[in-house]
Chains A and B, each alone.
Chain A
Amino acid sequence: MKRSIKRFKDSYLFYSFKNDKTAMASFFLLACFIILSITAPLVSPYNPYDAKNTDIMNSEIPPMWLDGGSSTFILGTDNMGRDLLSTMIYGLRISVIIGICAVALQAFIGIMMGLTAGYVGGKVDTVLMRIADIQFSFPYLMVAIFISAIFQVMFGVGSFEKLAVPLLVIIIGLSEWPVYARTIRAAVMGEKNKEYVEAARVIGLSRPVIMFRHILPNTLTSVMVISTIQVANVVMSEAALSFLGLGMPVTMPSLGSLIREGFEYIFSGSWWITIFPGIFLILFVLVVNLLGDWLRDVLNPKLYKG
């Protein structure tokens, strides 16, 4: 344990992290966001899902520093009379959960496809990559919107809302996996002719063992880089779907559905219901993107261009 910590401390990754203020700041903020979403029930002033705490008479109270604001609701309340700060923290929690789960699902599908295509090659490769290419030629947001529209018509709005979290994970997972498949395949193609793979084959290891124990670990750098950037993308997609009314319901709002809900009230001057969750969302995505950019530059400068 001690040795691995020391190894980490001496590593190039840690060295460049220490010398990059942007990376440190964004890592710090991201840590805050994650802690906030894990400890949401403890830190948020009210429980927004509990109908006891909401009173419709409290709706659209402005933030406490404006006229008419009160110190019981720091950032004001939304149109249903829920404390905006608590609802935002719970919304962040949902966005983060969906983000992480959907990225895990994408990574799983993409790694399976990419690894098989790259290592087995031949017809399997052609078929799998053709599928990925075809899906890749459609923007992932479009694919996600279509799948969720179909799910919504199929299940009906009621049961869609009950199952919203797992359904969103599946929708977003299914719509963005080609990113992984393509990169993993490229990495596997580079690895599979190296000597260590040859050696593993010579001593008679089976195909799955070579694929998962020997080649996969050597492609994990690119998985790490993509995963970071994908978390930001997934959170954005989820917000977009929720904003369109195809995602989280207003009773259990994510940041996107909170923005959708607040948008209807922006014309009457209640800007805070939209703007505060908006800033929260932008900050989270920005921080993850900055970290992803930094990771990409440090680990694998040739992964993406531009």
Chain B
Amino acid sequence: MSQVQDLPIDQDYKYGFETDVEQDIMPPGLDEDVIRNISAKKGEPEWLTEYRLAAYAAWLEMTEPHWAHLKYTPIDYKAISYFAVPKRVVLDSLDDLDPEIKATFDKLGIPLDEQKMLAGVAVDAVFDSVSVATTFRAKLLEQGVIFMSISEAVHEYPEMVKKYLGSVIPVRDNFFAALNAAVFTDGTFVYIPPGTRCPMELSTYFRINARGTGQFERTLIIADKGSYVSYLEGCTAPMRDENQLHAACVELVALEDAVIKYSTVQNWYPGNKDGVGGIYNFVTKRGKCLGNRSKISWTQVETGSAVTWKYPSCLLIGDDSVGEFYSVAVTNNHQQADTGTKMIHLGKNTKSTIVSKGISAGKSTQSYRGLVQINPKATGARNHTQCDSLLIGDLCGAHTFPTVDVRNNDSQVEHEATTSSIGEDQLFYCRQRGLSEEDAVALIVNGFCKDVFRELPMEFAIEATKLLAVTLEGAVG
């Protein structure tokens, strides 16, 4: 196996380091025994083992989907190790955390010491297959907010996990979701009690470290009646010449009048300039607006991964419920992204907004894929879709695959789409005013993404702006 430091790596990816930490890794391959083993190692109740096995049986009958506009080397599911845990995981106190892991998160700009943290942000840190630290738990619990790893929630709040796990994304939903249900190892669990506004931003930071492994996390967020939560996830991985699989599931449930705002800054290793290595990001994210007047808002900034397959969606079940999807996806070099959303209108007077901004540079390919479905009972439903593509250079591609399916006569659907390129005249104008070419590109791209960035929490909007500039470095000229 080649060494990380020998690779022709992309110096612009500053999160590409590897942490040397003693790990408990299962041998590659997947069968019922591996699943029983994972479940046993986590000391799971019987029902969850059965849930996993049922998912595995379903998965065996399914085939990997290939309808997306993506090309990638086939995944050898037998070559992946499905469980990698640092040996020294202690969940009782942050002080007992392996110093190497702590240092890793420090280096990523996510200090796990509560006193050093960004004011008002609580973090769950997931390292390979396991949650290694969750900050501000006690403080949040004072207000009834449950914020912990899903492994712990299985033991502490089994009824709640049992009730909602798989209730938004059924086991048989799709190939990757079935795989996730069979082998998921950790992730975050959040519950916000009725009428509570979560006093801080909650976030999970995902880090893939071990070689030859996949990451399969599961996140479950439940916002009870009249509550509010803003949640953010970030992710990075070392630079490697192998492709690693990340197949996560995120389920959101919003009850009456509840609001969930879910933001993602996805910065998995994208592979090098020649398209070698990088993460396969095959993720299923879905939210259920179960209660009347509930609202789920997805905001995503996708800059990393070699291949992205991701459609955060909303099931608008409650009357007057609202779904939103704000997305910026940037691809450079050989990256590929097929991303978009599904808005399924089921309740009366439901409303959805889709704003998608795709930026393609280098030899990358990007597709927006969306479904707006207005069902017969969803009278008075409204959707507005704005879908813009920006091309940098003439070797990249942008595609749009919108589907609109309206099944009543009382709804209103609008779809606007534009494709533009960064004009030579725009660049010259900026440069004539003293801006370098790269600053000019960053400025124009930021302007293009503004409608999405303003949906992000303040400090993450700044982070996203910087990430965009790094991703597009060298894209022009």
Partners in one complex: no
